[in-house]
Structure 1
Amino acid sequence: MAKISSEELGTLPIGKLLIKQSIPASIGVLVMSLNVLVDSVFVGNWIGPLAIAAISVVLPVTFFVAALGMAIGVGGASIISRALGAEKVQKAKQTFGNQITLTVLVTTIMVLLGLSFADTLIPAFGGKGEIFDFAKEFYTVVFYGVPFLALTMMGNIVIRSEGKPKYAMIAMIIPSVANLTMDYFFIYVFDWGMEGAAWATTVSYMISFVYLIYIFRTGRSELHIDRTHLRLRLPLLKEITSLGSVTLARQAMISLVVLILNNILFDLGGEALVAVYAIIGRILMFALFPVYGIAQGFLPIAGYNYGAEKYARVKESIYKAILYASILGTMVYLGLFLFPTEVASLFLSTKENLGANEVAINQYVLEHISTAMRWVFAATPVIAIPLMGGAYFQAIGKAVPAMLLTLSRQGFFFIPLVFVLPYFYGEIGVWTSFAIADVLATLVTAYYLRRELRKMLA
């Protein structure tokens, strides 16, 4: 058998390796982000601005359940990368088997609960007034596909932990292309409205899941598991859940932030201000794709080399990941600072038969989006430090510092700020909370990361 590709994580030069791992990851994130971006453009133009707000309300709920799969994937991937680095292949296989079983059990239970309490969850996340009916229609259909999304997220991360970023990239591209194709037919051609948008999203999840089954069943992965690996093992479960809880806490915090923000913004400016944040949220997912791609490429490199006790390579990978991500983050910020209105206008409907309310919402968005976007993205040049810092501690299996650093930006800083600043400064207080929280999180992470490198990797 040819030399397994995971060994390259411990042998190739760090700069070359980081590029090799990050480019496919960035492309995958880009395509998924473009999917969200173009999907929002389609929905906004073919259905209306309230539909974008409805999707913004629903996605945090559905993604939280799907993030259970992501959390299990990241927690297990950390173990798998370190196990492969230490040449413990059997442990890596057992970990993957436990991830599959755990993902199926947990997401199935959560989906049943989510469907049972839909009428309570949707208004709680800001789906009020005219937004509710749009959100309910989208929510009900999309929730059926969430288990497939969770399994896809988990499998995608595992593939990347083996040092096979190209397969992971394809797994992210397939559902994006499928979703946009079905969007055109279901929304534009068949005129199914929100239900068409929901079914396009759900079916795309299923297609991606089928592709990952193909990858793992045809020998393209090193993790050839059998039924015995699916049996849950308590020591592995503890390690998977402790490390995965960092990712889950991050997603839970994102959902909580959206809940709080949508309610605060609704009180300040009604559906129109919720639509402003919905557009910014879509741009956040798209614009930072190269930074997130580097973080994803960095994770298996740090984990593998830490498991192999090649600490100098770990240290070099941290510095280069932060450098590359900071450069790209600065470029993103400059683009959005200079052209905020032009970017936002892509999401607004240009149909001639828009109602008076939709016309008013469009005008409100264009008047408020520039200031909001510039403040939300103001600290983008430095977010690489908290992002890579949290990823590093998670990659090496240190759940507690990873958890604390991950929660620092939104949990310790942003939420208190967004409750206090709008009381004094209104809408501008909401947007400045983003920048202040980013800077504070950067300072805290830089301190702890520097101390860790001096102590553990000297």
Structure 2
Amino acid sequence: MSSAKGDFSRGNVPFLILRLGLPIMLAEIVVVLYNIVDRAYIGHMGETGTFAITGLGVCFPLITLISGFANLFSTGGTTLATIARGEKNDEKAERMMATSFTLLLLIGAALTVILFAFAPFLLELLGGNEESLPYAIEYFRIYVIGTIPVLISLGMNSFINAQGFPKIGMATVILGAVLNIALDPLFIFTFDMGIRGAALATVLSQSASALWVIFFLRSKRPPLRLKRFCIDKAQLPGLLKLGATGFTFKVTSSITQAVVNVMLKGFGGELSTLYIGAMSLINSIREIMSLPNSGVTGAGQNVMSYNYGARKDDRVSACIRFILLSGLLVNTLLWILMLLIPEPIIRIFTDDPELISLTVHCGRIYFGAFPFMALQMSGQTTFVALNRPKQALFFSMLRKIILVTPLTLLLPNIGLGVEGVFWAEFLSQLIGASICFSTMYFTIWRKMLHQKASKEL
């Protein structure tokens, strides 16, 4: 089995990250594009569009939870497999990949049964009201049938990227995205299925992506091949510890989204449906604004893990620097754009003037500290890539559980009203990102910089 493909210990580090990251970023752009098309079709469903887009917003916490399980078994698995490849132990890496795949199948089957059965109860608990709940149930019960394909396409695609095949990984996403974009208008309008058609299009497109991933990983092209089902008990604790970071981030995001919906429903009064709809649109915009950072950190994590396994600290340090500086630059530019001209983006999703006005106002509060997210991402990525599960897990919990959720509950009750929900995100980004990056700098990066300076003397 050859290990030449995906050797990240040589070459210019920023160029290497960009070479790996650009296909990932392009793939994610396509994902966001089909999410935009999906939500734009739903938002423009005549008189019911606003209620339908709000119903979709009610589903977000559960959809986020499902993707969290993909992170649980793929983030740790990918990191440990990449470290093993850096150590030239491909057999160990291959067992790690097979373990991740087996666990994704098992948890996917369990989630399908549980979430389908309890969908009405959970969606009402998450903020669904008499206007939005019927749409939420229609969408989610179809979406949840595709849980296994969603987990496979999200979770196992990271093993393709980590082996140095970013274009194949990009093709995974593009395949699903193009199919979804083609099927959306057919099911929603031609077959008059409404929001159920949007869910069915998503399930079919994710199924196609999952089959593509399995076909490639079982082929002879990648160094690591998917040959069997297995659970490597020796590596399982490490997988779960590292995977817990991404999983906790998704679970805490899900909890936060649920708390946000409940608080918007409680403090929004007659406008509660509009406020939940505005938050749904803000979440869609955040996906767009997070794309550049996501692509760079995803590629940077793989390069860091490989060089950490190969004991090349100077290249690890170069990865951290590039992720940080590129993130600060791009996030600041996007933040300025969001402050100055948010309306054209919002109009993609809805033509309701009241919803547009509300989203503009609330979005400027919500994204107020967005540049600081570059600090959060560079710190968090470093902890995961360098196999520091305790720190990675803590900082996943810090912003969402320790900061944003309590602030979401507190601020509306101390005079800020419904706008306090949006101020909570601003404050949590500012505080959480600063603490995360400072800890990473003083415990990891500063030591590497001092070691490099000592060698140069």
Where on the TM-score scale, by shorter chain, does this alignment land: which range? over 0.9
CA distance in 2, matches of 1:225, 1:341: 46
* 1:168-183 alignment runs, 5 A limit: 168-183=169-184
Letter in 2 for 1:242: K
- Report if the CA contact (8 A) 2:335-2:370 is conserved: yes
Residue of 436, 445, 450 corresponding to 1:453: 445
In the TM superposition, residue 367 of structure 1 has moved relative to its aligned partner by: 2.7
Number of residue equivalences: 443
Matched residues in 1 for 2:70 and 2:197: separation? 25
Shift of residue 456, structure 1, vs aligned partner:
5.9
- Name the residue aligned to 1:6: 6
Q: Which residue of 1 aligns with 2:373?
A: 383
2:26 maps to what in 1? 27
Contact 1:58–1:135 (CA under 8 A) maintained in structure 2: yes
Q: Which residue of 1 aligns with 2:219?
A: 218
* Superimposed CA distance per residue, residues 29-88 of structure 1 (whole angstroms, 9 cap, x where no aligned partner): 111111111211111112501111111211321331232123211110000110111101
Residue 385 of structure 1 contacts residue 442 of structure 1 at CA under 8 Å; is this kept in 2?
yes
2:455 is aligned to none
Partner of 1:267: 266
| Equivalence for 2:231 | 232
Q: Output aligned runs, 1:21-60, within 5 Å.
A: 21-46=20-45, 48-60=49-61
Q: Indicate the larger mover: 277-286 or 215-224.
A: 215-224
2:149 matches 1:152:
no
Q: How does 1:196-215 map to 2 (within 5 A)?
A: 196-215=197-216
Amino acid in structure 1 at the alignment position of 2:130 = G
The corresponding residue for 1:166 is 167
Deviation at 1:340, TM superposition (A): 1.8
TM-score, normalised via structure 2 length: 0.94
- State, as a whole percentage, how many aligned pairs show the same letter: 23
Q: SS of 2:357's equivalent? A: helix
Deviation larger for 209-218 or 271-280 = 209-218
**Cα offset for 1:247?**
0.8
CA distance in 1, matches of 2:119, 2:433: 37
Q: Decide whether the 8 Å contact of 1:80 with 1:91 is kept in 2.
A: yes
CA deviation digits over 1:104-130, x for unaligned, max 9? 111211221111211211111112221
CA distance in 2, matches of 1:413, 1:225: 40
**Corresponding letter in the other structure for 1:302:** M
Looking at structure 1, the residues matched to 142 and 206 of structure 2 have their Cα atoms a distance apart, in angstroms, of 12
Distance 1:220 1:54, change over 3 A: farther
Q: CA deviation at 1:411?
A: 1.4
Tell me: CA distance 1:386–1:69, structure 2 relative to 1, closer, same or farther (3 Å): same
Cα distance, 1:223 vs structure 2: 1.0
Residue 337 of structure 2: aligned partner: 335
2:67 maps to 1:62: no
**2:454 matched residue in structure 1:** none
Q: Confirm or deny: 8 A CA contact 2:3 2:90 kept in the other structure.
A: no
> Which of 418, 422, 429 is the aligned partner of 1:427?
418
Report the residue type matching 1:203 in the other structure: L
- Answer yes or no: is the 8 Å Cα contact 1:37–1:282 preserved in 2: yes
CA distance in 1, matches of 2:176, 2:392: 30
1:57–1:125 Cα contact (<8 Å) kept? yes
Deviation for aligned residue 1:317: 0.5
Provide the secondary structure at the position in 2 that maps to 1:275: helix
Q: Distance in 2 between matches of 1:174 and 1:117?
A: 31
User: Which residue number in structure 1 is paired with residue 245 of structure 2?
Assistant: 246
Range with greater deviation from structure 2 (429-438 or 250-259): 429-438
Contact 1:145 1:205 in 2 (8 A): yes
Corresponding position: 1:413 with 2:403 = yes
For residues 130 and 318 of structure 2, the distance between their equivalents in structure 1, rounded to whole angstroms, comes to 52
Q: How far apart are the structure 1 equivalents of 2:363 and 2:385?
A: 32
8 Å contact from structure 1 (residues 138, 198) kept in 2: yes
Q: CA RMSD in A?
A: 1.5
> What stretches of structure 1 of length at least 5 have no aligned partner?
350-361
- In the alignment, is the contact (CA less than 8 A) between 2:143 and 2:203 conserved in 1? yes
Of stretches 425-434 and 308-317 in structure 1, the one that deviates more from structure 2 is 425-434
Aligned to 1:354: none
Preserved contact between residue 66 and residue 107 of structure 1 (Cα < 8 Å): no
Give the equivalent residue in structure 1 for 2:74. Answer: 73
The residue type equivalent to 1:130 in the other structure is E
1:343 CA drift (Å): 1.8
Distance, in Å, in 2 between the alignment partners of 1:445 and 1:185 is 46
Give, in angstroms, the shift of residue 26 of structure 1.
Answer: 0.9
Deviations 1:350-377 (A, max 9, x none): xxxxxxxxxxxx3431232222111111
The equivalent residue for 1:302 is 304
Instruction: State the 1:436 CA deviation.
Output: 1.1
Structure 2 distance, partners of 1:33, 1:181, is 15
1:213-260 deviation line (CA, Å, top 9, x unaligned): 221122222112433xx2212121111111111111111011101100
Aligned residue for 2:364? 374
| Contact residue 67 and residue 150 of structure 1 kept, 8 A | no
Whether contact under 8 Å (1:6, 1:84) holds in the other structure is no
The separation in 1 between residues aligned to 2:425 and 2:412, in whole angstroms, is: 12
Equivalent residue number for residue 316 of structure 1: 318
